[in-house]
Structure 1
Amino acid sequence: MAGAFALVLAAFGSAVVSDNTDANSLRADKYQTISQSYTGPDEAAGGDVDISRDFNRTTQLRQTKAQAGQTQRAQQELVKAVGKEATKQRLNQWVIPVTGYHLTARFGQRSGLWSTTHTGLDFAGPAGTTIVSIAAGTVKSTGYEGAYGNRTVITLNDGTEVWYCHQSKIAVSPGDQVGPGDVIGYTGSTGNVTGPHLHLEVRPGGGGPIDPYAALVEHKVTP
């Protein structure tokens, strides 16, 4: 049993949580969502990540603690399980993708800022904030995708595709295996935006998008 536990923990890996401590206030009006202004790839995409200091420290600490707690619970569940049960737990565990965020545009909203209804959930916050995978899966693609900016697409173990858009820097490559809490990139303002944020899309079976908020709540994670 001890050997099985060790294998389970080794398979899970370690989660990386961003914890910025030097902070000011985050103003929602500074982090608007997608606009009609096309900015193109920003210089941060190939260079060093510059973490903004304009955010609320109390919010950052609360969200970081929540993200860490979710990852810790996943680890505890894996310790209790072996074999197929451990695999099942890992398949189903989700976590929040960023910390220090403020939710702005939500799924299904209509605005002159978009050609159609909004297809994801926007986590606005400091540029350069660490983005982690919300669940276990395989990196399907990475690269610049027009209005979506620098985008990473991860196929979860149940076939669901998750899109992470507008990144300043991508930290994974196609084919990489990731677990919940693994670092995959950093927030930015690439593509059609008016400020740094993570645009998250959830697409079951690689098809049309569904509400990411509802999907997160369904997996016991509330942004």
Structure 2
Amino acid sequence: MAGAFALIMAGFGSAVVGGHVDDSTLSAGDYQTISETYTGDDINSVDVSRDFDRKLDEQGKIQADQMLIALEERDDLIKKTSAEAKKNQWVLPVTGYHLSARFGQRSGLWSRMHTGLDFAGPSGSAISSVASGTVKSTGYEGAYGNRTVITLLDGTDIWYCHQSRIAVSVGEKVGPGQVIGYTGSTGNVTGPHLHLEVHPGGGGPVDPYAVLVQHGIRP
């Protein structure tokens, strides 16, 4: 048995040795065949860099288009925001003035307390709307003289009194700083001035000075 096993093992060893391939036996042709399997017949047949550059160019165009769209949207937003801000903007009604009477003062000049803020200045000075709104009424109103009432976007009525001339019509839309008339001495006055009144919701008068300050205007 031992002798037979030895013969079998000897035969197996010879078969392994006979079937072993040594690295040193690979020829240059063998390496060439393996190389072609991975790279193709011509290693320069595919220009990888050119394809990559083309994709970069396409991506660059897409990004440029997206940037233009973003800039247009930004400009539209700025315009819209600017328009909204202008709608809510307040300005002084006149220039070149001095305050001659304030809200709440009492004097023989008025039947009751003074209900507005007086801007005294040269007759014929331009009067501007303090904010955006719609002309509610115009005309002569006794002691108030020539008066224009403008209803603002929030429903507040602004009275512009003692005008020498009215420059707007009922129903007209006006913006902040738009000329609506000119100072004068019509009605119960001691000299040319603008008598300004503020009536929230069309109700009773409140202090115009406080309202102007609240909207960033300090007379």
TM-score, normalized by the shorter chain, greater than 0.5: yes
Q: Which position in structure 2 is the counterpart of 1:184?
A: 180
- The letter of the residue matching 2:194 is L
What does residue range 49-60 of structure 1 map to in structure 2 within 5 Å? Answer: none
2:178 pairs with 1:214: no
Q: Which position in structure 1 is the counterpart of 2:112?
A: 116
- The letter of the residue matching 2:171 is G
**Mapped partners of 1:176, 1:196: distance in 2:** 26
> Judging changes above 3 Å, is the alpha-carbon distance between structure 1 residues 116 and 86 closer, same or farther for their aligned structure 2 residues?
same
Q: Which position in structure 2 is the counterpart of 1:133?
A: 129
CA RMSD of aligned residues (A): 1.9
**Mapped partners of 2:199, 2:170: distance in 1:** 18
In the TM superposition, what is the alpha-carbon distance from 1:86 to its structure 2 partner?
Answer: 4.3
Q: 2:189 aligns with which of 182, 190, 193?
A: 193
State the secondary structure of the residue aligned to 2:149.
strand
Deviations 1:150-175 (A, max 9, x none): 00000000000000000000000001
**Mapped partners of 1:110, 1:5: distance in 2:** 52
Please tell me whether the aligned partners of residues 87 and 176 of structure 2 are also in contact (alpha carbons under 8 angstroms). Answer: no
What does residue range 12-161 of structure 1 map to in structure 2 within 5 Å? Answer: 81-83=78-80, 85-86=81-82, 88-161=84-157
2:165 pairs with 1:169: yes
Deviations 1:178-219 (A, max 9, x none): 000000000000000010000000110000001000000000
User: What is the aligned length?
Assistant: 149
2:194 pairs with 1:205: no
Q: Which position in structure 2 is the counterpart of 1:13?
A: none
The structure with the greater share of residues assigned to helix is 2
- The letter of the residue matching 2:149 is V
- The letter of the residue matching 1:162 is I
**Mapped partners of 1:98, 1:220: distance in 2:** 16
Query: Structure 1 residue runs of 4+, over 4 Å off?
Result: 1-6
State the secondary structure of the residue aligned to 2:143.
helix
* Structure number with higher relative contact order (C-alpha < 8 Å, ≥ 6 residues apart): 1
Structure 2, gaps ≥5 residues long: 1-70
Q: TM-score, normalised by structure 1?
A: 0.63
Q: TM-score, normalised by structure 2?
A: 0.64
State the secondary structure of the residue aligned to 2:108.
coil
Percent identity between matched residues is 72
Please tell me whether the aligned partners of residues 92 and 219 of structure 1 are also in contact (alpha carbons under 8 angstroms). Answer: no
**Mapped partners of 1:93, 1:102: distance in 2:** 23
Please tell me whether the aligned partners of residues 133 and 179 of structure 1 are also in contact (alpha carbons under 8 angstroms). Answer: yes
> Judging changes above 3 Å, is the alpha-carbon distance between structure 1 residues 146 and 2 closer, same or farther for their aligned structure 2 residues?
farther
> Judging changes above 3 Å, is the alpha-carbon distance between structure 1 residues 187 and 2 closer, same or farther for their aligned structure 2 residues?
farther
Deviations 1:64-104 (A, max 9, x none): xxxxxxxxxxxxxxxx7344x44542332100000110101
